[in-house]
Structure 1
Amino acid sequence: MTAPTQSKSAAAIDAAAATGRAAFIGYLPAGYPDKETCIQAAIALIEGGADILEVGIPYSDPVMDGPVIQQATTEVLARGFRISEVFDIVRAVTEATGAAVLVMTYYNIIDRMGAEEFARRLAEAGGAGAITPDLIPDEAADWIAATDKYGLDRVFLSAPTSSPERAELVARSSRGFVYGVSIMGVTGARESVSAVAEEVVAASKSAGAPRVCVGLGVSSRSHVEEIGSYADGVIVGTALVAALRDGGAEAVGQLARELSGNS
């Protein structure tokens, strides 16, 4: 297949910027609480105002995830989840909405399938690319080659502890955007967003990153507005997963409208 010439997630972020706002990026676990409800929730999320969707692959040792997401993914794994479901979900949501859909996964899952095979299947499903929170660019040669071949975005993380040299390598190696980690810890809704988030964005921009999106701890419209004043995108996960748990796809759509200011 012919690789696309433009990053889907970059295009979505730039389109949001053209209207004077930061992009709203929403996360949902693949297959939670079941495949069809996950697809419905994802479509509701996008229709509610999300510019980009992150679909998280359930993993047995989710070191970066907080209790809400851990519980959701544990339930999905217990019912016999298979990786092929992820590609089904990406395809269904992409065909229904045309949105940029990224997979978020620990790299072991990609490595086990093979970077080339994973990239091929993701591209064929219409996916925009992947976020790999535990993969550093220094060890990503296979993944970089595969994503280059299939024109997929590859999103690496930059943290408050990243050195200027590390921030520069992440900026140079990422395609689509850099994921700015706002706190040192696991995911989860918080009352306030860490003050270092703005510093992470500034450091990444200084290192050459054209787009930096911030996640971890975002749970309210005020958080979205605060982060959106200095970042190119705002990533919301735990609050949306809790809404899905408590109220299904309809609740996800409602929260998306609140977070995006479309309510």
Structure 2
Amino acid sequence: MDQVGLEQRAAGLGTRSVKKDSKLRAIDIAISMVDLTTLEGADTEGKVRSLCAKARRPDPGWDGVPPVAAVCVYSDLAATAVAELGGSGVRVASVATAFPSGRAARAVKLADVEHAVAAGADEIDMVIDRGAFLAGRYGQVFDEIQAVKEACGDAHLKVILETGELATYDNVRRASWLALLAGGDFIKTSTGKVSPAATLPVTHLMLQAVRDWRDATGELRGVKPAGGIRSTKDAIRYLVAVNEVAGPEWLTPELFRFGASSLLNDLLMQRRTQLDGHYSGPEHVAVD
């Protein structure tokens, strides 16, 4: 990959501005693309229920705010999220395959997936075996993604590359194609547990991969940047990249998501600012 060219293009698109009359629409699109996430050891059923309530109605004080795309939790809390979100249209995503490290036997990883699917998860976010990938055992990584895809049944599969550990853009490109070839419905940048997480250049590269996949096969696959996207300004930069690199077809939660925990609050505050004409502070939105 041309590192300089990729980073320059990402930086250039990152300076694009959105006209004021389009900003509210962009904010609503971004809200609808959020995978509202809690992936902490201290997570409780109560916290997940509160998160699900926020996912359904992100800003109860205002009409017209779209629900988020999904709530993302650990597999042992998937059933709680399913019970809270039934009939709402908000999906339940569960991390699996020994998230975030991916360090477990394949049988353990598949059992994790099967448990989440049995609990009703609509989407599975798996992590690839970065050790195997970096050692050049691409066939092993491919076979594992295929096995997880089969275990997903009707659930959609997001394949987390953990790009911060892949070291080079060439590796990110190779891993993206490997995941697409093995059946991943989405390619996802990061677990959010490793720095750097999502970056615009890496997301550009992954958007190029799904665009090229569409051109080669006619199939549409999604991209999910996750980790470190906290502001409305950043989210809009990513939406510009989606439109310019992959195309307007990808400006939908079916094909683009934000993996985030704090981004939603800033989107809601900026949305109120657009409607009120003055800044609304964090005290006006629900605490996660």
Shorter-chain TM-score category?
0.5 to 0.7
- Structure 1 residues 128 and 262 mapped into 2: Cα distance closer, same or farther (>3 Å)? farther
Q: How far has the Cα of 1:50 moved from its partner?
A: 1.6
Q: How far has the Cα of 1:151 moved from its partner?
A: 1.0
Q: How does 1:70-89 map to 2 (within 5 A)?
A: 85-89=76-80
Identity %: 9
Aligned partners of 2:172, 2:109: CA distance in 1, in Å?
30
Q: How far has the Cα of 1:196 moved from its partner?
A: 3.8
Q: How far has the Cα of 1:186 moved from its partner?
A: 2.6
TM-score for the superposition, normalised by structure 1: 0.60
Aligned partners of 2:36, 2:82: CA distance in 1, in Å?
17
Matched-pair contact (CA < 8 Å) for 1:182–1:196: no
Aligned partners of 1:163, 1:114: CA distance in 2, in Å?
23
TM-score for the superposition, normalised by structure 2: 0.55
Residue of structure 1 equivalent to 2:83: 92
**SS at the partner of 1:25?**
strand
Q: How far has the Cα of 1:165 moved from its partner?
A: 4.5
Is 1:104 paired with 2:95? Answer: yes
2:48 aligned residue (38, 42, 53): 38
- Gapped regions of structure 1 (runs ≥ 5): 1-15, 58-82, 241-251
Letter in structure 1 aligned against 2:188: Y
Is 1:239 paired with 2:262? Answer: yes
Residue of structure 2 equivalent to 1:168: 177
Letter in structure 1 aligned against 2:51: A
- Gapped regions of structure 2 (runs ≥ 5): 1-24, 59-66, 130-140, 164-168, 215-219, 243-249, 251-255, 274-288
**SS at the partner of 1:212?**
strand
- Structure 1 residues 23 and 163 mapped into 2: Cα distance closer, same or farther (>3 Å)? closer
Letter in structure 2 aligned against 1:172: L
Ranked by relative contact order (alpha carbons within 8 Å, sequence separation 6 or more), the top structure is 1
Aligned partners of 1:91, 1:31: CA distance in 2, in Å?
20
- Structure 1 residues 180 and 46 mapped into 2: Cα distance closer, same or farther (>3 Å)? farther
1:26 aligned residue (8, 13, 36): 36
Q: How does 1:3-18 map to 2 (within 5 A)?
A: none
Aligned partners of 2:104, 2:272: CA distance in 1, in Å?
36
Structure having the higher Rg: 2
1:130 aligned residue (86, 109, 124): 124
Q: How far has the Cα of 1:171 moved from its partner?
A: 1.7
The count of residues paired between Structure 1 and Structure 2 equals 201
Aligned partners of 1:255, 1:110: CA distance in 2, in Å?
39
1:146 aligned residue (128, 151, 166): 151
Q: What RMSD, in angstroms, separates the aligned Cα atoms of the two structures?
A: 3.9
